[in-house]
Structure 1
């Protein structure tokens, strides 16, 4: 098999060295063709897209948004701690009024549903048994007394308290519903411009998941344009430090840039959006793409001597490295391709294109590098020899590699025991990992979005939403079935006419109209049999209609109320709003206006009356945010101060606990919706998917290693660095308390793919050298010369290639930068320390 590989490599290299211009032309054409697609880029940072469009949780979430007219909202907050009265001063309330008016005129804002002190109603008693709705603040107050009156009115309305105003009176909020969440950054910028024109002393903040996600997309786009070039510059500087030959190191840079441009161009050209995951493709591929080039340059600089035939040296070097480079590329790509097994579309796209990009980099390397090296002039080659074989050039890396080799062989037993202890501790650390993510925490702590989130959630019940949806299965019979029971023949045509005339309306409205039509029919000339039938049908229809309006039932609303109280007592939910709250407020004002009457009405008819009264307000459609027009479904809006999925999971568990203690009423079902809930769903899917893909890829890579080396022993040895590195990295994550979030999850693929690369090169070369020397000591002396130096160089190139991410303003990029640098350092160290130690201790098995 290796012989065939070498023949393929030899023929390919010979063609490339003889026809370098053909290779150049093909590469330039491909690069230009795919790069031309990049201007069509579309950014997508919506966490909803972490779930498949047909996922049941996502479908239900969107149904709930439509059914209850719930919209993505930007939260604008104002905090005034400069005065005793907080925001309840003429100055602050005037600013709130003015900003609200300016927001209402912004295109893309759903004006009818905007919530602000100046756009909501004050609900009060006009006289006994009647209720009055008037604007809470139809114009800004001119005195402190007027401001205090507004504060008093707000304090009487639980629906608004801690949602629109804080209990301490120091803060107010404006909820800005928007038509398209992809316009949230643009709308937020317009609001910021309007706020900048104010002269007041209050501090203004803008937050909310839609604006956080959209702003992340804007900053992500900027980061893409900064990090990839910086990574390229870092790699260029490192390569110059290693080889001190600019013409030589231009070659791997061309390989890296061509790989990135073609891969990103293909992604965009195929119509995929650039998500937070795929935005990292360029920064991932840039260092990985130069790995094989560094191996070629390292061995070329070591082997090529003055006067030697250039093309023969190139053929020898590439032929020597072709098999290990091919297998390292395949194993790396397998690690990323394994991500396609996850049920998360952006992760699948990321894995697929990085995996393909790695194979593309290998193809470009073995064709372009020989072509390029064959065209180098003698002056550059002589300079390379002078640098590489002097005491100054490259000797530091070589000395480090030699030191590691000596250390590994001298303290082999201690090293193996030490790594065993570290492995055991790491396994325990993995058990401490906590799964958690929150799009707002993708920003640094001092970012305006993060600051706003912290301040507003300290003052209000919470800016994070989740919805508990209760549904009744007491559905109405069709009119045809209702009218068919005991129908006299003489009314057959009348019944058929009712079904035909009313069929285009919702079923509950069909029943309402039928009641009117039956009543009219009874006043006409009908027989006793017909009258009996009509009266019976009338009673059946009224009873069915009453039962179908499940959430006009005081008992069901009492159940909703008890669930709300249970959640409030837990401290996990800042506040909840429901149909029960609406009914209690209106009931209080219809009765005495006193707190003792802040209770649920005692009959379905009384509930219906309170809700009908509520619809007399300036915002009648607000009722349909809490219940559907047929009263078959109701929604409890939960406000939480944290968007972490751990906290959301705790709330879900709390509701399950409540249901176990107080089972759901008969024919009532409970389901979840809301962005905070969707985050939990995709996180759970991601963790399960990542574990499945990691196990699958691990098995595949092990089989590949056994096939490559045609030895189970060498297959196991190749998996040692990978296993130790993955265990250590994830154990460390658990020990230091770092949340297992999306970037951390994806690192498993990179760890698996790259950790085995160094082992393949080390083991392949060690086996070849041993065949030549037949001596273990001499084998490792030679191994810790050029091969170990090349591995060390590669580890440094990849590790430092990711360091520009450490200076990013976005936390996921920083996380990737830190852990990738760590992964490279650890996997290289494990390869150069553990493998020689284990191979020496088990030499009878390894080198039998």
Structure 2
């Protein structure tokens, strides 16, 4: 309390300095937001010391083209003709000039490789094309071209942009269209969507905040010129937080682009709580200075606890092990600290500077709907607390089943906007050619000769025949057998045939002392794949190869992301609960006061999980943070209710009356902050990213449930424990 006394004194004396400092900080932050970098992909999901990610990175550097490809769709009425094939060859030459593009595969290139030229006789062209390149002609109206990408992920955007430019420079034959897809193209288009998504969500969040403040908060502030002050705080908060991102080295990703609407929604809570208490004190006839000082002191403790617990919830995301979630948590936590400081410094400074009018006591002009709802909540919680607690227990128990059954979504392609041109083509590609998921076995070899290739061919065949979920494999030995009929017997012959295959193709399988085999796997969920991954590891060891090896590939990393989601969620949840409980216990020195805010949040987490299961939502990288986020956000409401309840009890009011006064006086600010907070998350529904829009829905449910629990379960539990203590005291008195 001494700190709050000192702060209130500083605010009264330094009101003008505070305003000037905030304005300067806002201008600097606005300028610095131009330096925010964008990032995406596996490096935002895995820490650099994660072993499996290191193996994937090592494989990417060594083999390059085995990691990603760009697919070009050439469509027309009938593309298997000389003119279209000649265009494909020209397109291949142009795109091959892009630094980072390796081998080109297409039916046109296959025909040239077989015959040495492109035949003008279209019957002969069709015969060779369908015999040797049928995979790249899934139907006569479509030809596929595959360009292997040899550069690492950091070059994908540049490569994709250059590929688009070179496609645009060439004029296809009449009636023929050309479009590109593949991981680099998708990443490039995703990055463009991230900035657009953030602007859309930010705009929607501001609009929802304005609507909520006008509808709900107008009953709290008497002078409408102050109606949007909480929104000012939230916009300042978001800008200052984003301005710090470049200084902290935090990029904008699919996850961190949601920070703006979230901060806009969360920041209003602190401002709404201060403004609610300030207006309450002014209506009592107190001066601006008195009302400001009392508001800072009375709301300051609750706001401090609410801020710290929410910060703990966000910072617990660091325990997830996912860099993108850690960045999200850090920037959000910093933003909340900024919002807290602005609410108890800038807002009173503005009021001290501009508020010159008197407040009038409200005259009864009918009871608004919100007040009737709050009165109902207070009566229900105070007088029928046993029914409230029993109903809560039943609902929570039923929800636990659903919470434990919520599925996981580890397909990153489902996280991104499905209407991106490259994404639509990617989905079409999958429907045409089937599964492209591959487990890549990378072996360390001491020497490379025909015997080595034969040994690995036998191993690959053994694994293929042992596992029904492995549908094919690709290896250097298999290419040699397909192209030349057999594997050479001597090293001299091997070198000659590898030269005929081409270095760019060989490098996909052989790099220095590393040899790769690509196993194509059937589509399956992550649990089934984890079993397959473990079985393949055992099969290779059982076969008896002496070469050290590891398994990698996109689908392998997706499996480890699923593990991170599950384990990370558990770590974040336990860390949040433990840290929040210890904080409350330290502050209140009372197990009862420490446990009260945690009970409704536990209920909310389980009930929200049950709703996710019923409504068909999945856990993703982002929704994995929902538990710790709910603990951090939802506990705010409970703390505000509990603080005011104990304040009224210290005045001598009965538990029932204390609940009624508490809900009546702070219910509307809590309702305002809860609805504005919900509005911030609801703004994510406007995001084109499914991962963000789904997160918006489940977060919205969690906030509304937290709000409901704070206004019903918390007061009911407080009355229950107070009456229980009273009964125990009476019994102990009788026994004495």
Provide the TM-score with structure 1 as the length reference: 0.78
Cα drift, residue 647 of structure 1: 6.5
* Matching residue of 2:311: 333
Find the aligned partners of 1:53 and 1:136 in 2 and give their Cα distance: 47
Q: Does the CA-based 8 Å contact 2:641-2:663 persist in structure 1? A: no
8 Å Cα contact 1:117/1:136 also seen in 2: no
Note if contact 1:443-1:810 (Cα within 8 Å) is conserved in structure 2: yes
| Structure 1 residue 368 displacement after superposition | 0.8
What is the CA–CA distance in structure 1 between the aligned matches of 2:716 and 2:342, rounded to whole Å? 35
**Partner residue in 2 for 1:578:** 475
Give how far 1:769 is off.
0.7
Tell me the equivalent position of 2:624. Answer: 745
Q: The residue matched to 2:11 in structure 1 has which SS?
A: helix
Q: Verify the 8 A CA contact 1:52 1:343 in the aligned structure 2.
A: yes
Paired residue for 1:287?
A: 265
Name the structure 1 match of 2:732. none
The one of 549, 560, 581 equivalent to 1:670 is 549
**Contact 2:160 2:185 survives alignment (8 Å):** yes
Instruction: Name the counterpart of 1:173.
Output: 145
Q: Which residue of 2 aligns with 1:539?
A: none
Match of 2:21 among 26, 38, 42: 26
1:746 and 1:551 mapped to 2: Cα distance?
51
Task: Label 1:16 to 1:22 Cα distance change in 2 as closer, same or farther (>3 A).
Answer: same
Q: How far 1:290 moved relative to its partner?
A: 1.4
2:653 is aligned with 1:774:
yes
Structure 1 Cα separation of the partners of residues 46 and 476 of structure 2 = 30
User: What does residue 89 of structure 2 align with?
Assistant: 97
CA pair 610-737 structure 1, distance change in 2 beyond 3 A = farther
Cα deviation 1:573-607 (Å, max 9, x = unaligned): 5x42112312321442xxxxxxxxxxx55xxx627
- Cross-structure match for 2:733: none
Q: CA deviation at 1:146?
A: 1.8
Question: Contact 2:111/2:118 (CA < 8 Å) preserved in 1?
Answer: no
Instruction: Name the counterpart of 2:458.
Output: 558
Shift of 1:827: 0.5
Larger radius of gyration: 1
Distance 1:147 1:260, change over 3 A: same
Q: Deviations over 1:329-358 (max 9, x none)?
A: 010001111122232222222222222221
2:30 is the alignment partner of 1:35:
yes
Number of positions where the alignment pairs a residue of Structure 1 with one of Structure 2: 721
Q: Deviations over 1:134-193 (max 9, x none)?
A: 3568447552442232211335xxxxxx4x444999552323425353453454455456
- Equivalents in 1 of 2:586, 2:119: separation in Å? 79
Cross-structure match for 1:108: 99
Which residue in 2 is equivalent to 1:232? 206
Provide the aligned C-alpha RMSD in A.
3.1
User: Does the CA-based 8 Å contact 1:342-1:693 persist in structure 2?
Assistant: yes
Partner of 1:88: 80
CA deviation after TM superposition for structure 1 residue 654, in Å: 4.6
Compared CA separation, residues 842 and 56, structure 1 to 2 (3 A):
closer
Shift of 1:201: 5.1
Q: Give the deviation of 1:237 after TM superposition.
A: 2.6
Please say if residues 121 and 135 of structure 1, whose CA atoms lie closer than 8 Å, have aligned partners that are also in contact.
yes
Q: 1:724 Cα shift?
A: 0.8
SS of the counterpart of 1:742? Answer: coil
Alpha-carbon offset, residue 636 of structure 1 = 1.4
For the residue of structure 1 that corresponds to 2:394, the secondary structure is helix
User: Is residue 247 of structure 1 aligned with residue 144 of structure 2?
Assistant: no
Q: Larger deviation: 689-698 or 170-179?
A: 170-179
Q: Residues 716, 671 of structure 1: CA spacing in aligned structure 2 closer, same or farther, 3 A cutoff?
A: same
Residues 184-229 of structure 1 deviation map (CA, whole Å, 9 limit, x = unaligned):
3454455456656435556655332333233222211222223223
Provide the rounded CA distance (Å) in 2 between the counterparts of 1:57 and 1:551: 30
Q: Provide the residue aligned with 1:758 in structure 2.
A: 637
Distance 1:191 1:201, change over 3 A: farther
CA contact (8 A) 1:792 1:828 kept: yes
Residue aligning to 1:530: none
SS in 1 for 2:515: strand
Report the Cα distance in structure 2 between the residues aligned to 1:46 and 1:260, rounded to whole angstroms.
25
Deviations, residues 809-839 of structure 1 (Å, cap 9, x unaligned): 1112202211221111000111212122233
Secondary structure of the residue that 1:295 maps to in structure 2? helix
> Is it true that 1:617 corresponds to 2:500 in the alignment?
yes
Shift in Å, 1:294: 0.4
Q: Confirm or deny: 8 A CA contact 2:77 2:140 kept in the other structure.
A: no
Kept in 1, the 8 Å contact 2:473–2:517? The answer is yes
Given that 2:274 and 2:344 are in contact with CA atoms closer than 8 Å, whether structure 1 keeps it comes out as: no
Tell me, yes or no, if structure 1 residue 800 matches structure 2 residue 679. yes
Whether the 8 Å CA contact 2:378–2:712 is kept in 1: the answer is yes
1:439 corresponds to which residue? 412
Which residue does the alignment assign to 1:152?
131
Which structure 2 residues correspond to residues 319-398 of structure 1 after superposition, within 5 A?
Answer: 319-379=297-357, 382=359, 391=365, 395-398=368-371
Distance 1:440 1:774 in 2: 58
SS of the equivalent of 1:773 reads: coil
Q: Corresponding residue for 1:523?
A: none
- Native 8 Å contact 1:433 1:739 kept in 2: yes
The 2-side partners of 1:646 and 1:614 are apart by: 41
2:403 corresponds to 1:403: no
C-alpha change, 1:17 and 1:552, in structure 2 (3 Å) is same
Q: TM-score, normalised by structure 2?
A: 0.89
Change (3 A) 1:406 1:653: same
Farther-moved stretch of structure 1 (311-320 vs 95-104): 95-104
Runs of 5+ consecutive residues of structure 1 not aligned to the other structure: 123-133, 156-161, 476-507, 509-547, 589-599
Please list every run of 5 or more consecutive structure 2 residues that lacks an aligned counterpart in the other structure: 730-736
| Displacement after TM superposition at 1:68 (Å) | 2.9
Change (3 A) 1:390 1:310: farther
User: Which whole-Å CA distance do the structure 1 matches of 2:652 and 2:283 have between them?
Assistant: 23
In the alignment, is the contact (CA less than 8 A) between 1:438 and 1:645 conserved in 2?
Answer: no
Q: What is the CA distance between 1:743 and its match in structure 2?
A: 1.0
CA deviation after TM superposition for structure 1 residue 23, in Å? 0.6
Partner of 2:302, secondary structure, is helix
Whether contact under 8 Å (1:256, 1:289) holds in the other structure is yes
Shift of 1:553: 5.2
Equivalent runs, 1:255-334 vs 2, <5 Å:
255-305=233-283, 308-334=286-312
Moved more, 726-735 or 139-148: 139-148
1:420–1:82: structure 2 CA closer, same or farther, 3 Å change rule? farther
Match of 1:606 among 460, 464, 489: 489
- Partners in 1 of 2:558 and 2:320 — Cα distance? 16
8 Å Cα contact 1:118/1:137 also seen in 2: no
Q: 1:611 to 1:731 in 2, by over 3 A?
A: farther
Structure 1 residues 346 and 117, CA gap change in structure 2 (3 angstroms): same
**Which residue of the partner structure matches residue 456 of structure 1?**
429
